[in-house]
Amino acid sequence: MSALTLILKKTPTQQVDVSPLIPENLTDLSKPEIGAIILVTGNQHVRTDTIFTISGDDPERLIFTGETTKLDYIGKNCSIGQINVQGSCGAYTGMGMKGGQINIYGNTGAFTACEMRGGLVRIEGDGGDFLGAARPGNQIGMMGGMVIVTGNAGARVGDQMRRGTLLIEGNAGNYAGSRMLAGTIAILGKTGNYPGYGMKRGTLLLWHSPNKLGATFNDCGCHTLGFLPLLLESYRSLETRFAFLPKTTGRARRFCGDMASLGRGEILILVP
């Protein structure tokens, strides 16, 4: 069986909500039945086969290709299978995802992996703002799973994140880990201003000192943390630069905060 491939016939004039097109919804459907699924774009409802050319027959290996920046909600609530996006994509990719894997060969829009519960999102490019965050008006962001970003990430990464892991190989914007409740965010590159703003619990693991750190973080000095080598060793099986980092002694400078909030979070800056 070949992967079920959805090829955009032409660039849509408005963003298209493709949330119905996930592997579990397409299992046991024929191509005409898949083509009859109704999608929303702007204020219109359109059939899938008016937007996409459909080929292949394995819905558990789903491919989106064409001008994919116009596609929002790719893999929303997905729980099985693998979705590949051959290019950049719109907002809310992997929102509420529970399992499976999404590979994006390009950049992503805002709110990627927001409120994610499980599975793996791999971004071969840059992640947008509010990666792994909560939707506007909600209070619980990412609750499980893992996101790997090979490029940079925008502002407010992990905002209100509760569980799970964000691995960012490039830089992150301002307020990384803002209002974080728990979980781990590791950033190999540089961070913007005020990481951990309002964080209650959780861990920000940095390889570079941030530009500015809030005054409500306490410098707890340097410590040798036994769990750090074990944490990094757990990334060895992943397809990421984190898998090839040199072994560390676990020595890190620890900042505790945000004391303006619950104050049980920590920012760890690795000491060479």
Task: Assign 3-class secondary structure to 20-82.
Answer: CCCHHHHCCCCHHHHHCCEEEECCEEEEHHHHEEEECCEEEEEEEECCHHHEECCCCCCCCCE
Question: What tens-digit pLDDT sequence spans the chain (272 residues)?
Answer: 899 999 999 999 999 999 999 999 999 899 999 999 999 999 999 999 999 999 998 999 999 999 899 999 999 999 999 999 999 999 999 999 999 999 999 999 999 999 999 999 999 999 999 999 999 999 999 999 999 999 999 999 999 999 999 999 999 999 999 999 999 999 999 999 999 999 999 999 999 999 899 999 999 999 999 999 999 999 999 999 999 998 888 899 999 989 999 989 999 999 97
Q: What local confidence, expressed as pLDDT, does residue 247 receive? A: 84
Contact 126, 152 (CB under 8 A): yes
> What does the block give as tokens for 13?
């004039």
Residue type (1 letter), 41? T
Q: What local confidence, expressed as pLDDT, does residue 211 receive? A: 87
Sequence ranges of the domains in the chain? 1-58, 73-270
Q: What local confidence, expressed as pLDDT, does residue 171 receive? A: 97
Q: What local confidence, expressed as pLDDT, does residue 54 receive? A: 96
**In the chain, which ranges are E strands?**
3-8, 16-17, 38-41, 44-47, 52-55, 58-65, 71-72, 82-86, 101-104, 120-123, 143-149, 163-168, 184-187, 203-206, 218-224, 251-257, 265-270
Q: What local confidence, expressed as pLDDT, does residue 50 receive? A: 95
Residue in 38, 15, 14, 41 with CA at minimum distance from that of residue 25: 38
How far apart, in whole angstroms, are the C-alpha atoms of residue 173 and residue 240?
20
Q: What local confidence, expressed as pLDDT, does residue 248 receive? A: 83
pTM score, whole prediction: 0.95
